[in-house]
Structure formats: structure tokens, C-alpha cells
Structure 1
């Protein structure tokens, strides 16, 4: 019997955020069998910005997103590979 794919748990803190004329989708998730949470932000062009760090809670992941907005602005989520939040990569 083939192995089944692990279930992904989406945090209730995942949401669409609009500010300064820029809208992004914030996805906070974990594998059902894991306790650490991942953070991904997708801009309106479909570009994904993924944090390299995993977080102990979904709240900590959302706080990392909010901190990036305050310190770097919403423009950090646009399609500029030289201007992504610290600790994140553009995909």
C-alpha cells in the first residue's frame, strides 16, 4: 500500500492582508504530525515569500509577518528579489 501524503494544518491566523495599496495572502501552516509552523506570504502576482525559520506557534509566525510589515513595509512582498524580508526567500 502506498504511503499517503501528510495532512497540512492551516492556522486560523492565515488571512488576506491589505495595506498601503498592496494585498498579500498570509499562509501559516504545519504538517499534522509536526509541531512547528511555517510562514508563506503570496503577493498578487502569485510570487511566494517563504520564511526559512519554522516557528513554535502560529502566533509567532504571524508576529514575524507583522514585524516585517512594520520594519520593512508592505513593498517588501513585491517581486523584487533584492528586497525580501530578513530570513525569507522569494519563490
Structure 2
């Protein structure tokens, strides 16, 4: 019998915010088998920014996202120098 993939649990702390007139989606989730939360921020261009560090609580993840967006400003997420470009075919 094949093992099933674990379910993904989405936190109720996930939310949409607007900073500097630009919308951001804060996505906080974890695998049901892992107690640590993953933080992903999606900017208005649909670019995903995933934190390397995982968080002990979904509240910690939300706070980290909001603090980073407020500290760096919306434009910091929109710079092209923090995105890894994959070659196109």
C-alpha cells in the first residue's frame, strides 16, 4: 500500500495586507506531520518569497512577515535582485 502525502494545514493567521498601495498575501502553513510553520509572502506580481527559517507558531510567522514588509517596504519585495530566475525553454 502506498503512503499518502501528509495534509497541508493553513493557518487562520494567513491574510492579505496592503503596504504602500501594493497588495501582499501572507501565507502560513505546515504539514500535518510537522509542528513548524512555513511563511510565504506573495507580492502583487505573484512572486513567492518563502522564508528559510520555520516558526514555532503561526503567530510568530505572521509577526515576522508584517515586520519585514513594514521595515523593508513594499518595494524591497519587488526588486529583481532577490528572485532566482529559471531558464526558459
* Unaligned runs of at least 5 residues, structure 2: 85-89
Higher relative helix content: 2
Report the Cα offset of residue 44 of structure 1: 2.1
Q: Distance in 2 between matches of 1:79 and 1:48?
A: 13
Asked if 2 retains the 8 angstrom alpha-carbon contact of 1:36 and 1:55, the reply is: yes
Q: Distance in 2 between matches of 1:57 and 1:34?
A: 12
Q: Distance in 2 between matches of 1:79 and 1:43?
A: 11
Report the Cα offset of residue 80 of structure 1: 2.2
Asked if 1 retains the 8 angstrom alpha-carbon contact of 2:38 and 2:54, the reply is: yes
- Dislocated runs of 4+, deviation >2 Å: 79-82
Asked if 2 retains the 8 angstrom alpha-carbon contact of 1:26 and 1:41, the reply is: yes
Report the Cα offset of residue 79 of structure 1: 4.6
Match of 2:76 in 1: 76
With structure 2 as the length reference, what TM-score do the two structures score? Answer: 0.85
Greater alpha carbon shift after TM alignment, 47-56 vs 12-21: 12-21
Report the Cα offset of residue 5 of structure 1: 1.1
The one-character-per-residue Cα deviations of 1:27-68 (angstroms, maximum 9, x if unpaired) are 000110111000001112221000000000000001111110
With structure 1 as the length reference, what TM-score do the two structures score? Answer: 0.83
Higher relative strand content: 1
